[in-house]
Structure formats: C-alpha cells, structure tokens
C-alpha cells in the first residue's frame, strides 16, 4: 500500500498591504533577487516589490515575463537570473508567471517567493508547474524538490483585480474537493505520488464549504474592489486551501478535461484556466453518475458567478463529435490525472461532455436563464 504524503509551502502570509513588508521577510535570506513579472503586473505590483526590497538592502534584477510558461521561456529567464547571481527568485503575477518562477528557482536551487496579484488559481502553493508550448498547448507537469518557501498575498491588490479573475479562481478551487474525493474513492494517488492524508481530505472539503458560503459575497466585494472578510475567506480558499487540497488530495477528471481542451484551436483559449475547469468539473460530476440535485447545485452556483456551463459558453457551440473526441482522447492519455479517479473510455468521456452541455441547457430553460 502506498504511503500517505502531505506537502505544503513553508510560510503563507495574507492581508492588506503585505507587499510593503516583503523585505523584512527576506532580509536574512539573501541580498540578490530576481523579480519576474509581465508588462502589466510590473505597474500593478512589481515595482512595489522592488522598492520594498531596496528598503532592506536587497538588490533586484527586474525580468520581464513574456506570457507563456514554456520550456524556452523557463530556460531564457533561468540564464538571466543566473547571470544576476540571484539567490532569491520572486514571481509576481498570475499562474503562468508563478509556474515559470518556480521552475527557475528550482533550476538555481534558490529561495522561492510567490506573490500572486489575483486569486485566480491554486498554483502559488504547489511544488509543480504546468508547462505549455509557445502556442499555449498543454505539454505536461514539472515537479520540484520542495514547495515554495514564502507566499505573500496582498489582498488590497487582489481586491483591485478584475472580478473575473476571482471567479476563475473560485471555479478552479471548486474542483478541489470534487477531484480529491474521487481520488480517495478510487484509491488513486495525489500529485506527490502518495495516498491522501486525513489533513488533505479535510482541507479539500473545507475549501468547497467556504466557496459555497462566501463566494457570492466575495464576488460582489471584488466588483467594488473592497477587501472584505468574505473576500479574505475566498482568497484563502482559492489559494491556500485549494493549493494544499489539490496537491495533497489529488487531481482527477476535471483538470484532465481542461487539459484536453488544449487539443482544439479557436476562441476557447480566450477563457481562463478556471473557466475551463468549471466545465470540466461538471463533466466529472456527470461521469460520477451524480444526482440531478447535486449537478444542479453546481450549475446554479457557476451561473450565479457568471461562469461557463455549456459548450456554447466555452466557445464550442458548433463543435462536432470528432472535435470533442480530440478533447476526450487528450484527457484520457496514460499520463493524465483522470486515471486517479476513474476507469473510463474515450467514448464515455465524449458522451459525458455532450451530456453535461445538455444538462446545463435544460437547467437554463427550466429557470428561464
């Protein structure tokens, strides 16, 4: 029987204006940092990070992230950070920036600091990265020796991010318990190759409870850029609870379906990671033979947060069976996480995708949405 394994970051700090204190947390760690952000995030938070480091006599090499967590981008920035003599790598921004930064820190054996500017995904806490091609197609996962050393979330900055990013994070986090319970039920392995601990199970379950309880309030708070208690709860659920829950609980069909969508071209790639995971979660519920009541609970929740629930919503209204077959085939390859929770054929996944679309359309018709 496999061992139970639980993994986590060394330290997690969340609150208003926490970026101002980043130098205090790092002053005993090193004196040369590489700060990585894209062109938009440099103005939102990157320069604030550099200024806060200067106050504690920590020098920074400012590195522009080009937008895709590809092998080529990882290699390019690793060399630049190495040339700068960086012993601290600080990723500032969204999921792909953070995943790239983790890869660079691992290559340099540097202290890893993660500064998300939105609560849009659960990538910040994990010891893995999702790697894409330069064109945005999913290529695989990279796994690292350890989780990030420090994660800092400034909820004043996160509250000012577009509300769509918060709901995308909610959608990503909503998959956490759905997938973890499937892994547990099927006797599958988590993302670090072990069985799910009781701690991970409890965290994943609590993640979903918090989202159902505070998700609407947090969404309304984000619309007016207010860092309310509800928003603080959801930021923690999206980031810490979901991060620990997915990595130590395990992924299953929802994220495999998301990865499968990268097999297609077109407008679907304008959706966020979480928006595609939302539909993938509904597909997993369909595969599980969930009750009408349970499926409608998720559909209704997603619709209330302006998240996609039909193929039309994810820009695949005119998709043919052969198109969806490509998605299901990619989601069902040997290396995919769907096998942690299920033993299904490509044909069964195709049927579940079309059935999910029909369930959601019937729900909208039922409630005149």
Residue in 255, 313, 339, 357 annotated catalytic: 255
Residue in 38, 122, 149, 172 annotated catalytic: 172
The answer to whether 184 touches 273, Cβ cutoff 8 Å, is no
**Rounded CA separation 226/257 (Å):** 34
- 339 is annotated as an active-site residue: no
What are the structure tokens assigned to 299, written together?
């559909």
- 258 is annotated as an active-site residue: yes
Residue in 149, 258, 339, 357 annotated catalytic: 258
- 273 is annotated as an active-site residue: yes
- 233 is annotated as an active-site residue: no
Residue in 122, 273, 313, 339 annotated catalytic: 273
Residues catalogued as catalytic: 172, 255, 258, 273
């Amino acid at each position: 029987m496999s061992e139970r394994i639980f993994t986590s970051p060394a330290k997690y700090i969340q609150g208003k204006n926490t970026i101002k204190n980043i130098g205090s947390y790092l002053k005993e760690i090193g004196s040369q940092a590489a700060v990585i952000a894209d062109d938009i995030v440099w103005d939102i938070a990157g320069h604030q990070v550099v200024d806060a480091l200067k106050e504690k006599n920590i020098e920074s090499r400012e590195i522009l992230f080009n937008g895709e967590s590809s092998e080529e981008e990882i290699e390019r920035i690793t060399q630049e950070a190495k040339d700068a003599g960086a012993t601290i790598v600080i990723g500032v921004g969204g999921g792909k920036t953070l995943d790239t930064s983790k890869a660079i820190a691992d290559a340099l054996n540097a202290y890893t600091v993660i500064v998300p500017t939105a609560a849009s995904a659960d990538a910040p806490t994990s010891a893995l990265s999702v790697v894409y091609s330069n064109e945005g197609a999913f290529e695989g996962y990279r796994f690292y020796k350890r989780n990030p050393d420090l994660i800092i979330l400034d909820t004043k900055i996160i509250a000012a991010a577009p509300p769509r990013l918060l709901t995308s994070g909610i959608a990503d986090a909503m998959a956490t318990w759905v997938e973890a319970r499937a892994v547990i039920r099927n006797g599958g392995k988590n993302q670090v190759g072990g069985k799910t601990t009781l701690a991970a199970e409890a965290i994943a379950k609590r993640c979903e409870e918090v989202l159902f309880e505070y998700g609407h309030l947090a969404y309304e708070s984000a619309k007016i850029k207010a860092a309310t208690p509800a928003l603080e709860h959801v930021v923690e659920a999206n980031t810490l609870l979901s991060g620990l829950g997915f990595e130590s609980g395990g992924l299953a069909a929802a994220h495999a379906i998301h990865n499968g969508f990268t097999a297609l071209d077109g407008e679907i790639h304008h959706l966020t990671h979480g928006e595609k995971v939302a539909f993938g979660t509904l597909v997993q519920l369909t595969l599980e033979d969930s009750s009408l009541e349970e499926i409608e609970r998720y559909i209704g929740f997603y619709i209330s947060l302006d998240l996609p629930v039909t193929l039309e919503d994810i820009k695949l209204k005119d998709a043919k069976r052969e198109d969806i077959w490509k998605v299901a085939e990619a989601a069902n390859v040997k290396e995919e996480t769907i096998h942690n929770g299920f033993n299904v054929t490509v044909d069964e996944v195709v049927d579940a995708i079309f059935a999910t679309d029909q369930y959601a359309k019937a729900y909208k018709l039922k409630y005149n949405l």
